[in-house]
Amino acid sequence: MALTPMKQLATLQRGRFLTLSPTLGPVVCGSRVNFMGEYRRPGQPRDNTPPWKKIQFSFAKGVQGIRKHFGLLKDEAFKHMAGPQGQPLKEYVLEQTQVLWEFRGPESLSQWIVSSDREIGGQSEAYLKLGRNNTTCLLYGTLCSTPPRDGETRYSGYCTLRSKQPLLSFDRKQHHDWSRFNTLFLRIRGDGRPWMVNIGTETYFYHQSDDMYNYFLYTRGGPYWQDVKIPFSKFFLSSRGRIQDDQHPLWLDKVNTIGFTLGDKADGPFQLEIDFIAVCNDRAHTEEFAYEVYKRNPEV
């Protein structure tokens, strides 16, 4: 006597997977689907090594990590008792300008990451060193917009300087709180090239990890320093290099990183010297956001 498809399903439930007749169609898919992952250069083979095989256990590193993180926890406690962000309350309230990064020694360069299109097979080069008298930061190199010959990459030619994500004890994220300020203050000296200033903020969802707030930085060139003030209201939202239609103001109390990108397609040497990066409160600037914010579901 022939069994019905439902009886076949009941009799074949052995183990984790179900063996079904072709009339019922497949139920279980054995392949892994990665919706988002890290960048893989075209032509490079996939790394299918399981994550647990990449872990390297070391007792000495474990003890060193415990000492490091408990030391950071101790510093956090003392800063919290001293006042907001480790400052006295009076100084915190009356402060109008705050210097975030200044380059006064080799240890200040360890807070930054330099990258270029060489990571995807390009030919651009970027380097970071201290300037004259070890009081400034000099980003220099060569820009080349020739794409790699991999048959897939069509555009190339960029160099980037980005600050590292600050971490608290036990690798917790530390965010920059710029909510008391409304302007980015830079003292730079360039060679006349246009740059892009990038500010990365904390996001709610994983697919927003590529969101960035950008604005333009035009250098004059020559031997003279240039003081630049960019209001935070001028920064616009982009994702993977594309300006978004739905714009939102910059989230100033959850800032993670700041960076500078060169990609003007003018091949040749470049350099950008930075004295300091600061934020200030410009009382003459009252604009909240420079771009239109559309309402998705307007009330009728």
Write out pLDDT tens, residues 223-239.
Answer: 899 999 999 999 999 99
Q: Which residue has the tokens 């474990």?
A: 62
pTM over 0.95: no
Task: Give residue 12's pLDDT.
Answer: 45
147-185, pLDDT tens digit by residue?
888 778 888 899 999 999 888 778 788 888 899 899 999
Domain count of the chain?
A: 2
Whether 238 contacts 219, CB under 8 Å: no
109 part of a folded domain: yes
Task: Give residue 38's pLDDT.
Answer: 62
Average pLDDT over residues 191-209: 89
20-69, pLDDT tens digit by residue?
444 444 444 433 344 455 656 665 677 788 877 777 777 788 778 788 87
49 part of a folded domain: no
Whether 169 contacts 69, CB under 8 Å: yes
| Same domain assignment for residues 219 and 103 | yes
Q: Letter for the amino acid at 227?
A: D
41 part of a folded domain: no
123 part of a folded domain: yes
Q: Letter for the amino acid at 250?
A: L
| Alpha-carbon span 95 to 113, nearest angstrom | 29
The Cβ of residue 115 has, within 10 Å, a number of other Cβ atoms equal to 16
Whether 140 contacts 111, CB under 8 Å: no
Which residues pair with residue 237 across a beta bridge?
Answer: 213
β-strands 183-190, 194-201 pairing? unpaired
289-298, pLDDT tens digit by residue?
999 877 767 6
| Alpha-carbon span 175 to 166, nearest angstrom | 7
Domain, as residue range, for 119? 97-280
| Same domain assignment for residues 183 and 83 | no
CATH of residue 183: 2.60.120.430
Whether the CA torsion 36, 40, 43, 48 is positive or negative: it is negative
296 part of a folded domain: no
Question: What percent of the chain has pLDDT above 90?
Answer: 39
| Alpha-carbon span 36 to 41, nearest angstrom | 15
| Same domain assignment for residues 85 and 154 | no
Q: Letter for the amino acid at 255?
A: V
| Same domain assignment for residues 78 and 158 | no
Whether 229 contacts 183, CB under 8 Å: yes
pLDDT band at 15 (very low <50, low <70, confident <90, very high): very low
234 part of a folded domain: yes
| Same domain assignment for residues 71 and 191 | no
